[in-house]
Structure 1
Amino acid sequence: MIVIDNLLISDEIVEKQFVCDLARCKGACCEDGDAGAPLEDDELVELENSYAVIKEYMTPEGIAQVELQGKYVYDESFGNVTPTINNAICAYGIRDKNGIIKCAIEKAYNDGRLGWKKPISCHLFPIKTEKSSADESIEYLNYEPRTDICKAACNLGASLKVPVFEFLKEPLIRRYGEEFFFQLKATADHIALKER
Structure 2
Amino acid sequence: MTKKYLPILQVGDVLLSPDIITERFCCDLDACHGICCVEGDAGAPVTLDEIAQIEDAVDTVWNDLSAQAQAVIDKQGVAYPDRDGDLVTSIVGGKDCVFTCYEDGCCLCALEKAWRAGRLTDFCKPISCALYPIREKTFGNGLVGLNYNRWDVCRDAVKKGKELDLPVYKFLKGPLIKRFGEEWYKELEEMAASIEL
Q: TM-score, normalised by structure 2?
A: 0.91
Match of 2:113 among 96, 102, 107: 107
Superposed CA offset, 1:30-75 (max 9, x none)? 1111201110111011022221112132222221221122121121
Q: Is the 8 A contact 1:126 1:145 kept in 2?
A: yes
Asked if 1:123 corresponds to 2:120, the answer is no
Partner of 1:86: 93
Map 1:56-71 to 2 at 5 A.
56-71=63-78
Choose which of 76, 84, 100 in structure 2 pairs with 1:77: 84
Give the match for residue 138 of structure 1: 143
Residues of 2 paired with 1:54 and 1:145: CA distance? 30
CA deviation vs aligned residue, 1:85-140 (integer Å, no higher than 9, x gap): 1011111001111x2110000011111122111011111000001012x52x1010
**Counterpart amino acid of residue 123 in structure 1:** A
Q: How many residues align?
A: 189
Gaps of 5+ in 2: 1-7
Return the letter of the residue paired with 1:174.
Answer: K
Question: Which amino acid in 1 is paired with 2:78?
Answer: K
Kindly report structure 1 stretches of 4+ aligned residues shifted beyond 3 Å: none
TM-score by length of 1: 0.92
Aligned partner letter, 1:141: L
Partner letter of residue 55 of structure 2? E
Q: Are the equivalent residues in 2 in contact too, given 1:92–1:104 (CA < 8 A)?
A: yes
One-letter amino acid of the counterpart of residue 144, structure 1: N
Is the Cα–Cα contact under 8 Å of residues 39 and 119 in structure 1 kept in the other structure? Answer: yes
The residue type equivalent to 2:172 in the other structure is L
Gaps of 5+ in 1: none
Task: Report the 3-state secondary structure (helix = DSSP H, G, I; strand = E; otherwise coil) of the residue aligned with 2:137.
Answer: strand
Distance 2:85 2:137 in 1: 10
In 1: Cα distance, 2:31 partner to 2:150 partner: 15
Instruction: Tell me the amino acid that sits aligned with residue 174 of structure 2.
Output: E
Identity among equivalent pairs (%): 35
RMSD: 1.3
Conservation of the 8 A alpha-carbon contact between 1:27 and 1:101: yes
Matched, 1:186 2:190: yes
Q: Partners in 2 of 1:19 and 1:78 — Cα distance?
A: 31
Does 1:4 pair with 2:11?
A: yes
**Correspondence for 1:171:** 175
